[in-house]
């Protein structure tokens, strides 16, 4: 039965399912209990599952991840909420030096099935530290997996698949899309849903391949709709998994279109787009009609809210990149 849910409610429902399915699954974070999280993603869960399974933690991000490691060694499957992207850095050491390496250094004897949920990206008019896109830091770290959902159905299934994963996962939630609605098939088993680490072509096209993830998928789709009016056919691929990347569909697409535009909110310098451009160039060199172009945030700190619309990639900047690709 498909139901229309917001992305936020889809996450909430997915978390509820995960808690129901396995008594070892716990949620921990700041304000996740009574308040239900500042974005209400854990709304009602403490009331129904108890305060030893939905744990309001002290205000200390390294503590959240560090204790989650101990709980995972004890056999629990913690889902940690980092309240905002810009607050993950106090936990960076525990994530990069401990979470990411434990399976490797234990020669596979220790698994840390920890999910680190982070609302990320801008567009909500927030003060500084509340609109960042830290994905490259984590995608760069071996031992971590990084995924980003872009729509309610993916949010519902991907969060459940992440909880089932034997590897630690950084789970990025596009906070400005929390309120967007979409159909979610609540009866489908998550194991039968689109695989967690597989990309997906969300709009077929013939002229340009657009790669996006998280909040930029909607932007790319809007650009594709606008381009169609100009007679240009954009193929949009939602990467979904940023580490590992699943680029088979992207290679196939670029070999057909000969053009590729990558879109993300994070700054361009040494970002995901650079890796994508490098790999597509290696794999599709003889098919490319123009270089892979990037539409990204600027290489500045995230700016003040009143100018964030100028900072963030939007429909027009995507179309501009499409024009530049054709004009090369």
Q: Which residues are catalytic?
A: 130
Cβ neighbours, 10 Å, residue 303: 17
Single residue of 2, 60, 270, 304 touching other proteins by CB under 8 A: 60
Sheet of 169-174: strand order equals 54-56, 25-29, 77-81, 115-120, 169-174, 145-148, 241-243
Single residue of 93, 128, 228, 316 touching other proteins by CB under 8 A: 93
Single residue of 16, 43, 62, 226 touching other proteins by CB under 8 A: 62
Single residue of 117, 145, 176, 240 touching other proteins by CB under 8 A: 145
Q: How many residues bind other proteins (CB under 8 A)?
A: 44
Q: CB 280 → other proteins: shortest distance, Å?
A: 15
Q: CB 32 → other proteins: shortest distance, Å?
A: 15
Interaction of residue 246 with other proteins, rule CB under 8 A = yes
Interaction of residue 66 with other proteins, rule CB under 8 A = yes
Q: CB 167 → other proteins: shortest distance, Å?
A: 5
Interaction of residue 195 with other proteins, rule CB under 8 A = no
Residues 6+ apart with CB under 8 A from 10: 152, 153, 155, 156, 182, 184
Could you tell me where the DSSP H helices lie in the chain?
7-21, 45-49, 61-73, 92-93, 102-105, 135-139, 152-164, 216-229, 248-257, 272-284, 308-311, 315-326
Part in contact with other proteins (CB under 8 A); list of ranges 62-70, 119-127, 146-154, 216-224: 62-70
Q: Are 18 and 190 a contacting pair, CB within 8 Å?
A: no
Interaction of residue 254 with other proteins, rule CB under 8 A = no
Interaction of residue 94 with other proteins, rule CB under 8 A = yes
Give the Cα separation of 134 and 100 in Å (integer).
Answer: 16
Sheet of 260-267: strand order equals 200-203, 234-238, 208-212, 260-267, 293-297
Q: CB 103 → other proteins: shortest distance, Å?
A: 6
Give the distance, in angstroms, between the CA of residue 183 and the centroid of all CA atoms in the same chain: 19
Using the structure block, give the residue that is written with the tokens 């906070």: 175
Nearest to other proteins of 35, 73 (CB atom): 73
User: Residues in the site for other proteins, rule: CB under 8 A?
Assistant: 26, 52, 57-58, 60, 62-63, 65-76, 90, 93-94, 97-98, 101-111, 142-143, 145, 166-167, 243-246
């Amino acid at each position: 039965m498909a139901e229309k849910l917001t992305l936020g409610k889809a996450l909430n429902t997915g978390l509820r399912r995960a808690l129901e399915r396995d008594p070892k699954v716990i949620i921990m974070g700041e304000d996740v209990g009574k308040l239900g999280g500042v974005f209400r993603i854990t709304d009602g869960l403490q009331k129904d599952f108890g305060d030893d399974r939905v744990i309001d933690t002290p205000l200390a991000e390294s503590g959240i991840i560090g204790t989650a490691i101990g709980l995972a060694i004890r056999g629990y499957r913690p889902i940690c909420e980092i309240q905002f992207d810009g607050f993950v850095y106090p936990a960076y050491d525990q994530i990069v030096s401990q979470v990411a390496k434990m399976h490797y250094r234990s020669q596979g004897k220790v698994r840390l099935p920890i999910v680190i949920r982070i609302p990320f990206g801008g567009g909500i008019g927030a003060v500084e530290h509340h609109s960042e896109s830290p994905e490259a830091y984590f995608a760069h770290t071996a031992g971590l997996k990084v995924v980003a959902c872009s729509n309610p159905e993916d949010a519902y299934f991907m969060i459940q698949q992440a909880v089932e994963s034997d590897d630690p996962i950084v789970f990025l939630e596009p906070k400005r899309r929390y309120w967007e609605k979409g159909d979610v098939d609540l009866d489908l088993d998550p194991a039968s849903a689109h695989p967690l680490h597989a990309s997906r072509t969300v709009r077929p096209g013939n002229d340009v391949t657009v790669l996006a993830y998280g909040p930029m998928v909607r932007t790319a789709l809007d650009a594709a709709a606008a381009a169609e009016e100009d007679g240009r056919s954009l193929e949009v691929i939602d990467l979904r998994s940023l580490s590992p990347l699943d680029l088979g569909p992207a290679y196939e697409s670029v070999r057909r279109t000969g053009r590729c535009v990558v879109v993300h909110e994070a700054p361009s310098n040494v970002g995901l787009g650079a890796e994508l451009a490098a790999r597509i160039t290696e794999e599709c060199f003889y098919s490319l009609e123009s270089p892979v172009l990037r539409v990204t945030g600027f290489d500045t700190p995230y700016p003040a809210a009143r100018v964030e619309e100028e900072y963030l990639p939007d429909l027009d900047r995507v179309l501009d990149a499409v024009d530049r690709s054709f004009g090369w």
